[in-house]
């Protein structure tokens, strides 16, 4: 009995230590994000918000699972465009072999940039090994004149011309030298994200990547979009 009590006490102590360390890490991240937001003249709000994701139904990454909410939200103008950066949470569920329902919590970070232009669907991410395998069964992505870009990036769009217009040579060269993020174009916004929580510098890297793509849109395309 004594051994059982000792094990229980140790388990309780470890749980408390884990909770304290997790809280300290969370509070430290909040302070860092608040400091970064202040340095960029942006607004910061650590509170959970379940409404923001509903504002962007076109972004598939924000429609996963249940109990979806954003937190550590940073908003304002950066690079002459409105931006919104945040940490994100959602839940998925499965039933184990004993019939017990298990909940898994998922976290990642993202930035959303307002393009101030009407856009069309476009998805860009780094190539995966699985992409090479699916080529054999006809699920090809869009290829570009730059063999290096086509080798390193997976691009999908229902409108190939739109993909080619958005990704001229200058943009492809820029992206080859930039940090990798998954990118989705929405109705007038662009989201950049990874399936993990960003480190501090990655928020600004993601914003710079999206702004870099938008800044390199051909003038002829911008004029065309303005008149739609």
Task: Please write the tens of the pLDDT for every residue from 91-102.
Answer: 998 777 677 778
Q: Give me the residues paired with residue 69 across strands.
A: 89
pLDDT-based confidence at 141, cuts 50/70/90? confident
Instruction: Tell me the mean pLDDT in the region 9-36.
Output: 65
| pLDDT bucket at 139, cuts 50 / 70 / 90 | low
CB 86 within 8 A of CB 72: yes
pTM of the predicted model as reported, rounded to 2 decimal places = 0.83
- Cβ-count burial 105-121 (b if 16+ within 10 Å, e if not): eeebbbbbbebeeebbe
pLDDT at 88 over 70: yes
* β-pair type (43-45, 101-114): unpaired
* pLDDT of res. 138: 44
Asked if 179 and 202 touch (Cβ cutoff 8 Å), the reply is yes
Angle formed by the axes of helices 200-215 and 2-39, to 10°? Answer: 40
Tell the residue number behind the tokens 């992409």, with chain if given.
131
pLDDT exceeds 50 at position 137: no
Q: What pLDDT is stored for residue 25 in this prediction?
A: 56
DSSP 190: E
Which of 9-13, 135-139, 173-177, 188-192 comes out lowest in average pLDDT? 135-139
For the chain, what is the mean pLDDT?
85
Average pLDDT of the segment spanning 159-182 = 95
- In the numeric block, which tokens belong to residue 19? 């909770």
87 within 8 A of 47, measured Cβ to Cβ: no
- pLDDT at residue 171 above 90? yes
Give yes or no for residue 156 having a pLDDT over 90: yes
Return the bridge partners of 70, or none: 49, 88
Average pLDDT over residues 60-84: 92
Of all residues in the chain, the percent with pLDDT exceeding 70 is 81
């Amino acid at each position: 009995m004594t051994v059982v009590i000792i094990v229980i006490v140790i388990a309780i102590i470890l749980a408390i230590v884990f909770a304290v360390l997790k809280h300290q890490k969370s509070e430290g991240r909040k302070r860092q994000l608040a400091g970064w937001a202040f340095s960029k003249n942006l607004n910061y709000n650590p509170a959970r918000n379940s409404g923001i994701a509903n504002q962007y139904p076109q972004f598939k990454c924000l429609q996963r699972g249940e109990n979806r909410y954003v937190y550590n939200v940073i908003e304002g103008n950066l690079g002459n465009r409105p931006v919104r950066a945040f940490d994100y949470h959602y839940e998925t569920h499965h039933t184990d072999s004993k019939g017990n329902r298990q909940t898994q919590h998922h976290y990642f970070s993202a930035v959303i940039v307002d393009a101030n232009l009407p856009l069309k669907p476009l998805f860009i991410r780094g190539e995966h090994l699985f992409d090479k395998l699916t080529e054999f069964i006809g699920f090809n992505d869009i290829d570009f004149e730059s063999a290096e870009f086509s080798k390193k990036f997976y691009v999908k769009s229902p409108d190939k011309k739109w993909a080619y217009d958005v990704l001229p040579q200058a943009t492809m060269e820029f992206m080859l030298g930039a940090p990798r993020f998954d990118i989705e174009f929405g109705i007038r916004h662009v989201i950049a994200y990874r399936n993990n929580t960003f480190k501090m510098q990655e928020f600004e890297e993601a914003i710079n990547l999206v702004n870099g793509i938008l800044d390199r849109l051909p003038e002829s395309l911008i004029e065309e979009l303005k008149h739609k």
